[in-house]
Every structure is written in C-alpha cells, then in structure tokens.
C-alpha cells in the first residue's frame, strides 16, 4: 500500500536530522514541570494500584494529611525519637532521600535535592542542606511529588514489582522495597504525631501483617551481624489476626516451618504491631512485648537483629 501523503513524515524527519541536538536543560525543565504537576495531585488511594503498593499508598496519604495542616512552628519542632537536632522538615527530607533510592532504581526523574549515591546518611544530609532555610512547603512538595510518582509508576508497570533493585545494601524485589518504604513512612508519621501530642495511628491489621512478614523475611540478612553464633534455627511466631510462623536459619532464607523440621533452638512470639515498632526502631529487645523459649541468648539476638533493621 502506498503512503497517501508522506509529506509530514518527510518534513519532520528532515527537521530532526538537520537540527542541533536538543539542549539537556529542556529535558530537565520538562521533567521538573511534570513533577510539579504530580506533586499537586492527591496521593492515589490504596486500592488504585497493585496490592503490594497498598501499604505505601496508605502511609503516603496519612503522612500527607498530617503534614498538610502544620504551622511553620510545628515544622520546626524537634523530633528526638529520630535525632535530637532534626526537626519535622529534616525528618521528611530523610524520608524523601530514602524514597529517592528506589525512584532512582526505577529510572524515575529525580528532583535536584534528591542527591546521588547509595549512602543513605550522605543523601539525607545533602537533602536536608538543600531544603534548609526554605519554606517547609518545598520539602513537602518534593517528598509528595516523588512518592506519588513512585505509586503511579508501579500502577502503570506492575510487572516491575518483581524486579530486583539495589536498596540499602541489599538486592530486593521492588515490592519488598515498597513495604520498607511503607514501614518507614509510618514510623516517622508516628514520630511526628508524637511531637504534636497527637494519638498514635497503628498500621491497619492487614498491612501490619505484610510489613511484619516482610521484615521477618529480611532477618537472615542481619545474621552476619549477630553477636553470637546461632545454635540452630529460630522459630519466629508473628501473632496478629492470623498467626504467621517463620523459621529463620543462620545461612539461608527465612521460610515457613515444615512438619519434619528439627526442633528450633529458640522460639520467639511477638505481636505483629509490636514487631513493626521493633523493625522501625521504636522498641528495643528490652521493651518489645514478646514471649521467648529455648536459647534465651539466641531469642534476644533475634529481636536485636529485627531492631537493627531500623535505619533511624
């Protein structure tokens, strides 16, 4: 079949082949303008995207609602649960920086304040410096725009949830990183509510279960840092609406126990919400409510490993 009128194609190709390269500043400006529009949107609802992203979507909406009503004085309140010298806006700059690690892995456009590299502390510090002295709405918009962009991206490309990416020194599926982001967003929302003297908002029961399971699965990554040599597997029982059992072995992934498994060296039973606070660093092995039997040192080391997963 002949092309009825190829004139437009000829002219556009002529123009493209003969024109100078487009300056990179145009690309930067386009992506910044798009991000500005994303940041003006409401965070998507939890059921708009894939189920793996629902806890993160829920926490983004919660934190956004919490921040939207803050006065300048409230933005400047210190958040000692994180760092004595950090105020609410510095905490948000930190959350934004860690989210940016995932955004970068997914090739999302990055705001200039997001910095570069894989070191969370360095990135956080650079973002905090970038937002220092600016109105709090800037860091709020940067965090919000990036979080919505992440959620929109995984809604549009749910097949990417299985993809393994570099995150905080580990190689994890995007879905697992989104659970990490949900947990950290929630724990820092709790920190902010605490300095505002507002009541705590526990994770939804279904979300606390997936977050606790996600944390349990990552526990073996902490074994090399365990203070004692493990005498055998640890049976971790997460007690929520349902019971979720995990067998954590020194060398190997966390897995569901099988009937013919040898007896565990230690058994630890923790409420799922308590376990989420432990993973977020807001409980210690001493303060987390739990029951333990068997090797007491190993049980305690398991709780310490969970607490050690918190970054700040």
Partner 1 sequence: MGPYSESGRDRSPVDDRDAVRTPDRTGDRLVGRRLRLGDEVALAEVYDRFSAVVFGIAARVTGDRAAAEDVTQGVFVQVWEQADRFDADRGSLRAWITTIAHRRAVDWVRREVAHRRLPPGPDPVDQPSAEDEVVRRQVTERVQAAVEKLPVPQRTMVLLTYYQGCTLIEAAAALGIPEGTAKSRMRSALLRLNTSLVAEGLVSR
Site for partner 1, residues 38 to 67, rule: CB under 8 A: 38, 41
Beta carbon of residue 35, minimum distance to partner 1 (angstroms, whole number) = 7
- Of 7-15, 77-85, 121-129, 198-206, the segment contacting partner 1 by CB under 8 A is 7-15
- Of 23-31, 124-132, 182-190, 207-215, the segment contacting partner 1 by CB under 8 A is 23-31
Decide: is 296 part of the binding site for partner 1 (CB under 8 A): no
Packing angle between helix 174-195 and helix 54-68, nearest 10 degrees?
30
List 17, 73, 197, 251, residue binding partner 1 (CB under 8 A): 17
Decide: is 35 part of the binding site for partner 1 (CB under 8 A): yes
Binding mask 171-210 for partner 1 (x = CB under 8 A): ----------------------------------------
Beta carbon of residue 197, minimum distance to partner 1 (angstroms, whole number) = 36
Beta carbon of residue 34, minimum distance to partner 1 (angstroms, whole number) = 5
Beta carbon of residue 37, minimum distance to partner 1 (angstroms, whole number) = 7
Given the complex with partner 1, which of 18 and 197 has the nearer CB atom? 18
Beta carbon of residue 206, minimum distance to partner 1 (angstroms, whole number) = 24
Sequence-separated contacts (24+) of 125-128 with Cβ below 8 Å: 126/97, 127/93, 127/94, 127/96, 127/97, 127/100, 128/86, 128/90, 128/93, 128/94
- Of 13-21, 94-102, 241-249, 298-306, the segment contacting partner 1 by CB under 8 A is 13-21
Binding mask 91-110 for partner 1 (x = CB under 8 A): ---------------xxxx-
Beta carbon of residue 89, minimum distance to partner 1 (angstroms, whole number) = 24
Q: What gap in Å lies between CA 93 and CA 144, rounded to an integer?
A: 11
Decide: is 13 part of the binding site for partner 1 (CB under 8 A): yes
Site residue total, partner 1 (CB under 8 A): 45
List 16, 73, 197, 251, residue binding partner 1 (CB under 8 A): 16
Nearest to 195, CA basis, from 276, 82, 102: 82
Beta carbon of residue 33, minimum distance to partner 1 (angstroms, whole number) = 5
Decide: is 84 part of the binding site for partner 1 (CB under 8 A): no
Given the complex with partner 1, which of 25 and 171 has the nearer CB atom? 25
Site for partner 1, residues 139 to 158, rule: CB under 8 A: 148-149, 152-153, 155-157
Three-state helix/strand/coil letters over the chain: CCCCCCHHHHHHHHHHHHCCCCCHHHHHHHHHHHHHHHHCCCCCCHHHCCHHHHHHHHHHHHHHHHHHCCCHHHHCCEECCCEEEEEHHHHHHHHHHHHHHHHHHCCCCCCHHHCCCCCHHHHHHHHHHHHCCCCHHHHHHHHHHHHHHHHHHHHHCHHHHHCEEEECCEEEEHHHHHHHHHHHHHHHHHHHHHHCCCCCCCCCHHHHHHHHHHHHHHHHHHHHHCCCCCCCCEEEEEECCCEEEEEECCCCCCECCCCCCCCCCEEEEEEHHHHHHHHCCCCCCCCCCEEEEECHHHHHHHHHHHHCCCCC
> Which residues in this chain contact partner 1 in the complex, by CB under 8 A?
1-3, 5-23, 25-27, 29-31, 33-35, 37-38, 41, 106-109, 148-149, 152-153, 155-157
């Amino acid at each position: 079949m002949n092309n009825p009128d190829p004139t437009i194609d000829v002219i556009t190709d002529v123009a493209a082949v003969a024109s100078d390269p487009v300056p990179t500043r145009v690309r930067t400006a386009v992506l910044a303008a798009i991000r500005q529009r994303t940041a003006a949107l409401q965070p998507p609802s939890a059921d708009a995207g894939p189920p793996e992203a629902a806890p993160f979507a829920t926490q983004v909406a919660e934190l956004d609602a919490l921040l939207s009503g803050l006065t300048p004085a409230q933005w400047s309140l210190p958040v000692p649960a994180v760092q004595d010298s950090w105020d609410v806006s510095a905490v948000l700059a930190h959350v934004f920086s860690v989210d940016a690690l995932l955004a970068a892995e997914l090739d999302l456009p990055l705001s200039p304040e997001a910095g570069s590299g894989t070191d969370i502390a360095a990135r956080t510090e650079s973002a905090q410096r970038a937002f220092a002295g600016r109105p709090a709405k800037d860091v709020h918009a940067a965090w919000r725009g990036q979080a919505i962009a992440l959620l929109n991206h995984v809604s549009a490309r749910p097949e990417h949830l299985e993809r393994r990416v570099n995150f905080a020194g580990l190689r994890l599926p995007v879905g697992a990183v989104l659970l990490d982001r949900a947990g950290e967003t929630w724990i820092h929302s709790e920190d902010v509510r605490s300095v505002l003297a507002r009541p705590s908002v526990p994770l939804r029961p279904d979300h606390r279960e997936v977050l606790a399971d996600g944390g349990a699965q990552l526990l073996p990554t902490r074994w090399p840092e365990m203070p004692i040599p493990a005498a055998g597997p640890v049976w971790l029982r997460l007690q929520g609406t349902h019971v979720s059992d995990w067998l954590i072995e020194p060398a190997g992934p966390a897995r569901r126990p099988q009937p013919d498994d040898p007896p565990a060296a230690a058994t630890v039973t923790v409420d799922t919400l308590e376990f989420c606070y432990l993973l977020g660093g807001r409980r210690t092995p001493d303060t987390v409510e739990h029951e333990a039997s068997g090797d007491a040192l190993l049980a305690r080391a398991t709780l310490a490993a969970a607490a050690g997963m918190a970054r700040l």
